[in-house]
Amino acid sequence: MARSLIKVSPNPRRGEVIEIKTLISHEMETGFRHTSTGAAIPRDIITSFVATYNGEEIFAAQLFPAIAANPFITFYTIARESGVLEFRWTGDNGYAASEQVKITVE
């Protein structure tokens, strides 16, 4: 049940600096923990986050085991034109999730 929450102003003015908030559900298992019987719990984290704005990359981040569960990433961009913001998360064990948000620049 991978879920994400995105918050971005849907109708910004042209040239306005807009804040984009992204939250995604993920365990972010560090790989450093062990079970009560001593078996290592394998690493399972999101390793990469990329945001594009009408196909152009505007923000990217690499994630590491120290990032908490359910990573919350906030960043800014300038609203230049109406279009689609796309967010992609990829990680261990073939993890891939994506989300799209339409914005209309006035």
**Residue found by looking up tokens 């939250």 in the block:** 23
Site string for another protein, 75-104 (x = CB under 8 A): ------------------------------
Kindly tell me which of 56 and 66 has the beta carbon lying closer to another protein.
Answer: 66
The span from the CA of 19 to the CA of 42, in Å, is 35
Number of residues that bind another protein (CB under 8 A): 14
Report the candidate in 60, 58, 51, 46 with the shortest Cα–Cα distance to residue 86: 51
Q: Give residues 8-47 in contact with another protein (rule: CB under 8 A).
A: 21, 23-25, 28
What one-letter code names the amino acid at 27? E
Q: Min. distance of Cβ 105 from another protein in angstroms?
A: 21
61 binds another protein (CB under 8 A): no
Supply the minimum distance, in Å, between the C-beta of residue 23 and another protein: 6
CA torsion sign for 30, 35, 36, 39 is negative
27, 42 contact by CB (below 8 A): no
Q: Is 7 helix (H, G, I), strand (E, B) or coil?
A: strand
Binding site for another protein (CB under 8 A): 1, 3, 5-7, 21, 23-25, 28, 68-70, 72
